[in-house]
Structure 1
Amino acid sequence: MAERTTRRDWHDWHRDYADPDSALSRRLDTVQARIREFLDTAAPGPVRAISVCAGQGRDLLDVLAGHPRRAEVTARLVELDPRNARVAAEAARAAGLHRVEVVVGDAAAVDRYADLAPADLVLVCGVFGNVTDDDVRRTVGYCTQLCATGGTVVWTRHRGEPDLVPRICEWFAAEDFELGWLSAPEAGFGVGAHRFTGRPRPLDRGGRMFTFVDTRPPG
């Protein structure tokens, strides 16, 4: 997660994953499918991955644990809540994912990704539903610094009114991202995957992408 003003307990929030029929679990399955698809089709060789507001890391770690390319992936998961970060670190260790680093810190701080950006896979899941629209747009712009040419950004956003998902797609398109996949509106949640066709911009050292606010619903 990131520095925030919200009162939500982000550790307890993960309990919904225990229910396989919950919207959160279904969204996780969808995000994992996009990550798996990326890894299945990525060019041979090393892969760099970044997870912004990683939570307990279930999206990436669960896929890497059983994927044949697991040893090729170097990843950094950044999470503010030390309880969630501890769960993620323990999961990575148990799965033998020695090239996965879990960092406790403010995920909105661009410097957290300095030595891995631009990355081949950038996860921005559970962010866009918890920040202002201006910060969503700002973060999309920062993805041009975090993502390598040909890399993929996977993101989420709830479909509650006002539905921002169409505008998010427009913002990505304006930054030279190609839409690769988007969940249907009737899914009840938004998951998108965009491929970067542009050239990465220099990293804005000291920059901040967003600040969490107390919004509902999460996502």
Structure 2
Amino acid sequence: MDWVRWHSAYADPASSLSQRLLAVQAQIRAALTAAPAGPIPVVSMCAGEGRDLLGVLADHPRAADVSARLVELDPVLCESARVAAEPLPSRVEVVTADAGWTDPYVGAVPARLALFCGVFGNISDVDVAATVAAAPSFVAPGGMVVWTRHRGAPDLVPQICEWFESAGFEQVFVSPRDARFGLGVHRFVGAARPLVAGHRLFAFQR
């Protein structure tokens, strides 16, 4: 997959990708607004150009409170993210690494907000379950996970919601079945769990 070319769909405001971006940004905006006073640590896996988060930080009143780590394997997309982050008041670190391993997140979690966007539609169901099971290591109690997944058959979104509930999360938002994409937001209400370094969460399917 040429992920740089894949991102070109954002140029079409009517594309499913552009519509999903707006919906994801709305949920990120709401999560940042609701965050308690003080620092807001954020992590983003398979961050691409960072559009989900960086587009919100460009004008959000809490942007200066945000310290974010974006993990992306493609160096071209990483460079685009760094350029976009440069003028922002937030502290944004872009790490060029395989987001499917836990190592790139060491030192950046637990976060207040974790973005698992553009991941679940590109990995096996087994890896989706494993990533959700590890989600308690990514956010502190009260923290949010924002995630996406296509709603094509078989529709895994209901099962993902059940996996999050089993992992100690409560559902905040899930897009309707007739939407052009799946989008979920879950709040962690369980006990804190340390991140295990050197652990493989998922591998992208080609």
Aligned residues: 206
Deviation (angstroms), 1:201: 1.3
Match of 2:83 in 1: 90
Long gaps (5+) in structure 2? none
- CA drift of 1:96 comes to 2.7
- How far apart, CA to CA, are the structure 1 residues paired with 2:104 and 2:89? 20
Q: Would you say the 8 A contact 1:16–1:22 is kept in 2?
A: yes
What CA deviation, in whole Å up to 9, does each residue of 1:14-56 have, x standing for no partner?
A: 0000000100000000000000000111111100000000000
Detail structure 1 runs of 4+ shifted over 3 Å in the superposition: none
Partner of 2:114: 122
Determine the structure 2 residue equivalent to 1:46.
39
In structure 2, distance between residues paired with 1:147 and 1:173: 15
| 1:21 pairs with one of 5, 14, 17 | 14
Q: Does 1:191 align with 2:191?
A: no
Matched, 1:211 2:203: yes
Aligned-pair CA distance for 1:98: 4.9
Higher relative contact order by CA 8 Å / sep ≥ 6: 1 or 2?
A: 1
Instruction: Tell me the residue number matched to 1:135.
Output: 127
- Partner residue of 2:59? 66
Deviations 1:81-103 (A, max 9, x none): 0000000000000x334510011
- Say whether the 8 Å CA contact 2:65–2:90 is kept in structure 1: no
In 1: Cα distance, 2:194 partner to 2:147 partner: 22
Alpha-carbon separation, structure 1, partners of 2:105 and 2:116: 13
> Which 5+ residue runs of structure 1 have no aligned equivalent?
1-7, 215-219
Aligned-pair identity (%): 55
Over the aligned positions, Cα root-mean-square deviation in angstroms equals 0.8
Distance (whole Å) between structure 2 residues aligned to residue 98 and residue 27 of structure 1: 23
- 1:98-134 deviations in whole A, cap 9, x for unaligned? 5100111111111111111110000000000000000
